[in-house]
A and B are shown apart, each in its own frame.
Chain A
């Protein structure tokens, strides 16, 4: 049986852990609010971009730009993986990493050379420990993401794709679906599938009803597309960054909430043990006293 003092100390210790997890939960919820607001502010930009590109891609041929055309030979594959910098957020990073590794394995089995570009320390460490190469890593940037970072990451793969160094580029990140659900999302970044290509049919059906107003393009469509497509890759990477950051905080909130609950449970059990131990020691002391008195009375 543990001594009274041991149990007391354990209770105090768990209580302190609980304070920490509770504080982390509150910090994560405050940061989540910020991250969600950023997603909200980004939405009009992304939506407009999508519209414009869909409109434009209806006008030009499928292979009008190197970023749209598929490479004939597929030998090299690049995976852009976005994770968080810090742990203590449940299985969030683990899920993203295993999704990326699964993809890498598929590509390797298809005979491709796989290399990684990592944003976030957890992802970088995982790639280092794996058999794959990381051609670029941006650690400790998740706390201060901006469009510049998305731009740098995207530009690396765009340059690689145009120089035929990569034949496929994939993006893996933690999608923010809801507070309780942040699944890893895998997305083909390059070759680009033009937005609206799949929904073009149904939109065209709508368009035939009402006369579509003709657009004036300046400069001509192909040149405009050459300006817009690289930025579209950046927009997608930025979206990945924003989503991952919001998901990270949501996952951490959930994990810390769980931890706080576990602490409460543990404190309850330890308090029970403490009281039992105290009673046991009182009982044994009483027996001692009573036994001593009996002996004196003889």
Chain B
């Protein structure tokens, strides 16, 4: 079986650039897998974990939404932020999660509900990705 090129890029850097055997992306309409020679596809992604298999080993990457583009056996993922599981700061994610939960529980006036919920979601997903690793 062949491989496909996976590129995960954020505005600040290229997080992953590797030949992989399989990728599972967190699409807005459910997870989907991409194998080599996939048909051209453009899909929006939600906050979640992207899984890929390279040299028989599974790796996880945290994605804060964005979109994936498959073309000519290259899968490019564009996200505002993305982190390899090993690079995630678990303590920081935990703190962010507590902060977001507190904010949602207090329901202060002028609270940006959508933003706080997104922050909570990001923190929880980061923690999940870290757990996958462990």
Question: Could you say which interface size class chain B belongs to?
Answer: 20 to 34
**B34-42, B92-100, B101-109, B121-129 - interface stretch:** B34-42
Shortest Cβ distance from B81 into A: residue: A147
A44 at the A/B interface (Cβ < 8 Å)? yes
Judging by beta carbons under 8 Å apart, are B69 and A41 in contact?
Answer: no
In the complex formed, the residue of B with least CB distance to A41 is B13
Cα-based distance from A216 to B12 in the complex (angstroms) = 28
- Nearest-neighbor residue (CB-CB) of A228 within chain B: B67
Complex Cα spacing A222 to B104, Å: 32
Asked if B67 and A44 sit within 8 Å, CB to CB, the answer is no
Cβ of B24 within 8 Å of any chain A Cβ, yes or no, is no
Most chain A Cβ neighbours within 10 Å, of B29, B76, B81: B76
Interface residues of A in 183-234 (CB under 8 A from B): 213-219, 223-224, 227-228, 231
Interface 0/1 of A137-162, CB less than 8 Å to B: 00000000011001100000000000
Classify the interface of chain B: helix, strand, loop or mixed.
Answer: strand
**Does A257 have its Cβ within 8 Å of any Cβ on chain B?**
no
Q: Which of A147, A215, A217, A219 contacts B11 (CB 8 A)?
A: A147
B15 → chain A, closest Cβ, in Å? 11
Determine if A38 is an interface residue (Cβ-Cβ < 8 Å): yes
Contact A219 B29 (CB under 8 A): yes
A42 to B78, CA, bound (A): 11
A219 touches B44 (CB 8 A): yes
Q: Residue A177 at the B interface, CB < 8 A?
A: no
User: Is the Cβ of A49 less than 8 Å from the Cβ of B42?
Assistant: no
Q: C-beta contact mask, B33-61 vs A, less than 8 Å → 1, else 0?
A: 00000011111100000000000000000
B44 contacts A218, C-beta separation under 8 Å:
yes
Known: A218-B27, A224-B42. A48 touches B80 (CB 8 A): no
Alpha-carbon gap, A117 to B82, bound state (A): 29
B10 at the A interface (CB under 8 A): yes
Residue B9 at the chain A interface, CB threshold 8 Å: yes
Determine whether A56 belongs to the interface, using a CB cutoff of 8 Å to chain B.
yes
Closest B residue to A216 by CB, please name it. B41
Contact for B69 among A48, A147, A231, CB less than 8 A = A48
> Which residues of chain A have a CB within 8 Å of any CB of chain B?
38, 41-42, 44-46, 48-49, 51-52, 55-56, 146-147, 150-151, 213-219, 223-224, 227-228, 231, 235, 238
Q: Can you list 8 A-B pairs with a CB-CB distance of less than 8 A?
A: A41-B14, A42-B12, A214-B40, A216-B41, A218-B28, A224-B67, A227-B44, A227-B67
* Extra pairs beyond A41-B13, A214-B39 (15, CB < 8 Å): A44-B7, A44-B9, A49-B78, A52-B42, A52-B78, A147-B81, A213-B39, A213-B40, A217-B41, A219-B28, A219-B29, A224-B43, A228-B44, A231-B66, A231-B80
